[in-house]
Structure 1
């Protein structure tokens, strides 16, 4: 697995060479990389020798400016994406459901993986039919070494780092079925980024602040201390009888404030921008929505 000697990693296209993809560490440990790139600011990165966050190598001594930010992992690296539903106390309250006693798991295919802005987040035709697209701001756990039958006590040893995701959902399809894989697994429905943050920087993932903003309006605002099942429990649970390869990502659930539960309800439409902000260190994942043609 990759060493935790890194603080934060990004995968990006350098401004100097649009045909190149690099991995590296932002020079400024405290910069919100996603927001800075969105604003057109120069984000300087110490380039690493490796081509993947799973094996980043070492600093080369060279620097580059981000031209376009990419998802920290590729679709081939994440494999089948694990997702947890109904995992914040306040979210369970807003949808009038009892707190689960075991994690609720659904899957997304790797074809749903996507990068932050400027890659567009596509609203499928089936979602456009009745304007049922929704957002879900989520903390993501990235597994760094093969995990199977892991105990909660040992679970954090398998965590490579953390990033952010928007679990883009199609509510009509979701509520028409008892299983959620179809409604939450459309192409591009799992943008992640902008940075992969080491547990060295975030030793306690229950002490983060997560916000979701639609066109600048705060719709979700919650601490990860509201999680029903924390990171050690989720890693352990998901690994029981199941091999989690390096690169596996786990979406840990969304807090209260999703569009379908608001009065009046809120949906995402073409032209909307949604930002998932997780502080400290992870920064802001920005997505701009476009309709599938």
Structure 2
């Protein structure tokens, strides 16, 4: 097989690709505004909660440069005590789109299913706010959330961090910053098809070109919006692009999932391998025939149901 061979798509998943807007496959710089608009209005969180016993509070947190960002905290309305688990989630969107409420359903499910206190950060988006703003926003939210564990009613030693796509990359970067800045470390990392490598030079990046969701051109667009002319050069921080981190020791256990037919496949496999090489724990799932975010696009497909059930079982096992 050559690097340019078209990837295999699961036959239950592939038909869904035909009905998507072109910018979901290939995002050019001039399409960022349209892409952002498409992801800007997820269902209101009140509709997601739908009368169930979940309360939401918004908090203003100062990022490293003094900019104020919002961190929303969700917990049960009858929440009591301080021994509960916590979760801090970072949304996806290729560094250029999305909101914290893009993960609304997952946030609410974590509150109800494991009685967790859950937070989501509204980090700034590139290219309006280039690197390191998104990462520093994510880190500031994480530090604030874990520093206020007693007040919010959870155990700061039982908190996972994670998110999909760009949110997975920012979660990995936040964990690396916490390790190297002496901050509080998460109990575990939930890295869902994470965006880790600005160089966009793997075999899977070459394969997923003009097909699937978030192809090679899209990845270049997202990383260039974040990094500008530094993308792909030696002048890129290994916290902003965690695939560049040479030392992956001292990290909490990681759950990594990725589709077999997406750009991020090989960089996710390499990141898991780096954790293993450093003596760490990584649970890696490469779902055959899956394009980027397939679990959300075709949730009833067999591979989607299996992927989601496997992830949820891991969360229950870790948070107990």
TM-score of the superposed pair, with normalisation by structure 2:
0.25
Relative contact order, higher structure (CA 8 A, sep 6+): 1
Structure holding more strand per residue: 1
Structure holding more helix per residue: 2
